[in-house]
Chains A and B, each alone.
Chain A
Amino acid sequence: MTTLPASTAKKLGLVIDLDICVGCHACVISCKEWNTSNYGAPLSDMDAYGENPVGTFLNRVHTFEVKSAGCNAQTVHFPKSCLHCEDAPCVTVCPTGASYKRVEDGIVLVNESDCIGCGLCAWACPYGAREMDAAEGVMKKCTLCVDRIYNENIPEIDREPSCVRTCPAKARHFGDFADPDSNVSVMTRERGGMELMPELATKPVNRYLPPRPKADISGDIDILAPLLAPVPENKGGFMGWLDKALEAI
């Protein structure tokens, strides 16, 4: 049934911290290697060594530049994967029921054996979270590593999505947004976690923490003036200071 569950017991998702993502693509490739060998069909790479290599990726990092007049521009690295929306339009459009949102944790998945590869769910998704695999003809998407987070063959500490485990800058956090005291809920609250394209009312679970203000863009230059005042001459100037400093030791 591709209608959405009225509510889910948990709301698992990611917090992505744009203030610390350095754009290294670690999450992109870690996702690729885990998912090409695990849940469902492999993530193929067409023309892998040729003129126009095109592969299936479930997570990609964009780089944006933001500029306002008269100020330095800033660079923002922006990882993007499925946001596991509460009102996921990709689920309701699916004609076969392959696309569904799990009642227990809210993860949006594709049951590939039911997927006819019509592509409608990718059309319905505003975020580009779904990619049709060119070799297999089925829709691929982030599973939030559903085959890791509950996997008893994996040490407990590692039961998190591959992208989160690998992120060197700790820009990705995994947790339950239904729990107001979870790491992700607290971070979202404290740092003003954003929804992407809220106007489309998809109610994305994943949140983005905005970049903190940059001193070279927003701040007036604060010289901490007294700190760098030259040693006054009436105190003996530099040599007077040095003598005093040596005596003080």
Chain B
Amino acid sequence: MISTNSFRKFKPIIFLTIIAPSVLWSFQLINGSLGVNPIEKLMDNLGEMGLRLIIATLLISSLSEFKKLRFLVDIRRMIGLFAFFYVSCHFLTYIALDHFFDLNFIIKDIIKRPFITFGFISFVFLIPLVITSPKKMIKKLGYKVWKKIHYLIYPAALLSSLHFFMLVRANKFEPAIYIFIIIVLLLYRLYYKVIVPRLAQ
């Protein structure tokens, strides 16, 4: 069994592994080796990474319920913050590089296109999670309130995978897998948090 303490030693490695792609892509963007349509490529890479990290935090939450995997919860905050980092970069790329701060167009785009609306709402949902991420905030808010706020990760995850699902033209396999994972994890949670206690009563 891995103890939380021994796992901590791995934290810097995990940190570097997760930050590495963004460094690589920035370098490639400047370098011109991000393909023929670099802005689109960068935006896709960042968004996909953000979504994968969001799902990773959900997996961690569920897996860390098992005693043997308890140590995982220690990196959840870091991964969650990285998810927000990638999602923000994704959104910024859309604003700054894809549409060059054409706010008039961007606002219309967000309202008019359901897939962009979903992506945007998902981004907004992540903000309170980031604000309440320091340990101090748990104390300040109380664990129950804090936890309720953090359930926002489920709609955020669902909306961002729908955002991906609606964007792709033909092969919806990858986004479908994400949606499937999220729903399974959500049902698992509901089962243990809502149904099991009721049955016990």
Asked if A pairs with B, the answer is: no
Residues of A within 8 A of B (CB): none
Residues of B within 8 A of A (CB): none
